[in-house]
Amino acid sequence: MITRELAAFVEFARNVAPDFGPATARAAFLVAPDGFRLAEQSAADNRYMATAVDFDAVHAARQHHELQRALSQVLPTVCFAGDAETPDAVFPNNVFATAAGRYVVGRMRHPVRQREAERVDIRGFLGGVLDYAEIDLSTQQHACELTGSLVIDRARGLGFCGLSERCDEEGARLMHEAFGLRATLLFDLAPGEYHTNVVLAVLAGRAALVSPGGFADPRVPQAIADLYAPHGIMLSPGEHAAFAGNAIALSDDVVWMSARAAGALAPGTREAIAAAGFQVRAVELDGIEAGGGSLRCCVAEIF
Distance CA 66, CA 212 (A): 31
Q: What is the pLDDT of residue 157?
A: 98
pLDDT at 295: 98
Q: What angle do CA 156, 123, 80 make, to 5 degrees?
A: 95
Q: What is the DSSP string of the chain?
A: -EES-HHHHHHHHHT--S-SS-SS-SEEEEE--TT----HHHHTT-TT---GGG--HHHHHHHHHHHHHHHTTTS-EEEE---TT-TTTT-GGGTEEEETTEEEE-B-SSHHHHGGGG-HHHHIIIIIIS-PEEEE-TTSSS-B-HHHHEEEETTTTEEEEEEBTTB-HHHHHHHHHHHT-SEEEEEEBPTT---GGGTEEEETTTEEEE-GGGBSSTHHHHHHHHHTTTSEEEPPHHHHHTTTTS-EESSSSEEEEEHHHHHH--HHHHHHHHHTT-EEEEE--HHHHTTT--HHHH-EEE-
Confidence (pLDDT) at 55: 72
Q: What are the boundaries of each domain within the chain?
A: 2-302
- For residues 199 and 162, the answer to whether their CB atoms sit within 8 Å is yes
pLDDT by 10s per residue, the chain, length 303: 999 999 999 999 999 999 999 999 999 999 999 877 555 556 556 666 555 566 787 888 899 999 999 999 999 999 999 988 887 889 999 999 999 999 999 999 888 889 999 999 999 999 999 999 999 999 999 999 999 999 999 999 999 999 999 999 999 999 999 999 999 999 999 999 989 999 999 999 999 999 999 999 999 999 999 999 999 999 999 999 999 999 999 999 999 999 999 999 999 999 999 999 999 999 999 999 888 899 999 999 999
What separation in angstroms does the CA of 226 have from each of 11, 46, 268?
A: 12, 29, 17
**The pLDDT of residue 51:** 55
Position 274 scores a pLDDT of 98
Topology classification of domain 2-302: L-arginine/glycine Amidinotransferase; Chain A (3.75.10)
